[in-house]
Amino acid sequence: MARSEAGTRHSAGTGMTPAQMRDPNYFPGILKGTPLGIQHVLAMFVANVTPAIIVAGAAGFGFGSADISDMVYMIQMSMVFAGLATLLQTVTLGPVGAKLPIVQGTSFAFIPIMIPIAIQFGMAALMGGIIIGGIFHFFIGTFIGRIRHWLPPLVTGLVVLMIGLALLKVGIQYAAGGVPLIGTPEYGTMQHWGLALVVIFVTLGLKFFARGMLSVSAVLIGLLAGYGVAWAMGMVSFDAVGRAAWFSAPDPLHFGLEFNAAAIIGMCLMAVISAIETVGDISGITKGGAGREATDDEIRGGTLADGLGTAVSGVFGALPNTSFSQNVGLIAMTGVMSRHVVTIGGLFLVVCGLVPKFGAVISSMPIAVLGGGVILMFGMIASAGVSMLADVKWDRRNMMIFAIALSVGFGLQLEPGALQHLPQTATVLMTSGLLPTALIAIVLNLIIPHEEDEDELDDAGFSRAATTVSGSDGLDDEGHPIGYRAGQSRPAV
């Protein structure tokens, strides 16, 4: 009855019947479909272009550089290939694509790996790794169902938490004025922190006191507010916008191409994690939008599209793509399951990416403004990992796996000099933090047997009920993990 009432409410607001809203192949028409498609772009836009800005900074042509044309190009390509990868999912290409409203975008999960690769080996090596990693990701799609058990909530939650922790330093550096200012009196001034705080407070206000698309687009609107304040303070220059062209096609091998062992290994290992994330998003879309489980063809096709989109992106100087979980939550909110609506959003992204002036406007944003946004985004990634870990049974086995993986992975990232005697390839991979954490968690989870007695006491005599700080069993009155919200989705990583 509740489901029927919910469907009636949705149809009253959209002019569609409940059956039409649950049908991926239904098209509501251009007039209704266009604003719904733009909603999907607004929900993912900031998260999609931010990785390109971060990698550009690590590679030496980001904010504060004499020439930021390569960063503008990467921002463009982030939009173009997010749009094209989205079209692969919605329109499909033979068996490639899920025929579902899946929005693709640049993945945060790869950033902790891409930063050291860009610094140590350069952009050509990074692009080579992305291409090979995408091909490997495509290959994973042929047997994805057989490895899903490798990544239970203990492993996926730990990996997502580690992604957030690995990126927190970047957010603080940006909010304080950016890496080029480190060591100068201007670094960390209130002028920079003030802009970041404007973004944070506006975003929080919209997120918790607004509804609908104002809440969904809170980070984007917060960035626009910070941008406006920076412009009023005379901190915005539009010189690059004036020099930028109105149209520019993708440039094959823009950064060159080099095949480096560290880049290839890192990208291939991350492809496994990205593939599992895509499976989860596909399942979330079919459950939240259509009330059913995803089919094998949908899972296989969606993973194949993930890999192909990433491989092609690398050819043209863009970064790895994956499905965006923010848009899974948007589908649950609007109730519209149409893949053709998302196709409109994908086309909009491609058009925006072909206009360099659009990327130049984004690059004119002061780095402290972006810092306010990424502090929130990276913190949300970490908190999403904690939320996923709420589903874990915290017995001695799982606590030990968590402890060892987090201690080694995060510790090596904090103290990379501890591995100075290893070959450069091993050092780059191990000090990323994310890869050692993921590998240790996956291997230990596969080889350490589960405890049979769920109520077994640990060596100190404490039962599971004592594993939370409050002394409770970690569940609310309805039996959900504390902090659980029905229908919640985690940010894409």
The answer to the question of residue 129 being in a domain is: yes
For residues 246 and 352, is the Cβ–Cβ distance under 8 A? Answer: no
Write out the residue range of the structural domain in which residue 67 sits: 2-175+256-365+385-453
Cα separation, 65 vs 483, whole angstroms: 43
- Give the β-pairing of 104-106 and 321-323: antiparallel
pLDDT at 8 (0 to 100): 45
Which candidate, 65, 64, 62, 84, places its Cα nearest to that of 74? 62
The encoded tokens of residue 23 equal: 């049908």
Q: CA angle 341-44-200, nearest 5°?
A: 140
pLDDT digits (tens), the chain, 493 positions: 444 444 444 454 557 788 888 888 888 888 888 888 888 888 788 889 999 999 999 999 988 787 888 999 999 999 999 999 999 999 999 999 999 999 999 988 899 999 999 999 999 999 999 999 999 999 999 988 788 778 788 998 898 899 889 888 988 999 999 888 888 999 999 999 999 999 999 999 998 888 877 887 788 889 999 999 999 999 888 887 888 888 889 999 999 999 999 999 999 999 988 888 888 888 878 877 777 888 889 999 999 999 999 999 999 999 999 988 777 767 766 778 889 999 999 999 999 999 988 888 888 889 999 899 889 888 888 888 888 898 899 999 999 999 999 999 999 999 999 999 999 889 988 988 888 999 999 999 999 998 775 444 444 443 333 333 334 444 444 444 444 444 444 455 6
Residue 243 falls inside a structural domain: no
What is the reported pLDDT for 364?
Answer: 86
- Output the DSSP codes for 153-184: HHHHHHHHHHHHHHHHHHHHHHHTT-GGGTTS
Question: What is each CA distance from 416 to 59, 315, 337, 404, 425, in whole angstroms?
Answer: 19, 31, 46, 17, 13
Q: What pLDDT does residue 458 have?
A: 47
Strand partners for 322:
105
pLDDT at residue 14 in the model: 58
Rounded to 5 degrees, φ, ψ at 105 are -160, 170
Residue 374 lies in a domain: no
Residue 72 is assigned to a structural domain of this protein: yes
Whether the Cβ atoms of residue 383 and residue 489 lie closer than 8 Å to each other: no
The burial of 22, by beta-carbon neighbours within 10 Å (0-12 exposed, 13-18 middle, 19 or more buried), is given as buried
- Please, what is the end-to-end C-alpha distance for the chain in angstroms? 36
In SS3 terms, 392-461 reads as: CCCCHHHHHHHHHHHHHHHHHHHCHHHHCCCCHHHHHHHCCCHHHHHHHHHHHHHHCCCCCCCCCCCCCC
In a domain, 468, yes or no: no
- 127 within domain boundaries: yes
Asked if 192 and 176 count as a contact pair (C-beta separation under 8 A), the reply is yes
Q: Is residue 55 part of a domain?
A: yes
- Which pLDDT does position 483 carry in this prediction? 43
Residues 364, 49 contacting (CB under 8 angstroms) = no
The pLDDT assigned to 5 comes to 46
How far lies 398's CA from each of 192, 392, 447, 472, in Å? 42, 8, 12, 19
Amino acid at residue number 387: S
Number of domains the chain contains: 1
Report whether 115 contacts 435 (CB < 8 A). no
pLDDT reported for residue 43? 78
Question: Residue 370: inside a domain, yes or no?
Answer: no
| pTM, to two decimals | 0.80
Give me the sign of the Cα torsion angle 74, 126, 369, 182.
Answer: negative
**Of 236, 315, 303, the residue nearest 276 (C-alpha):** 303
Query: pLDDT at position 456, please?
Result: 46
- The helix (run of H) or strand (run of E) holding residue 322 is strand 321-323
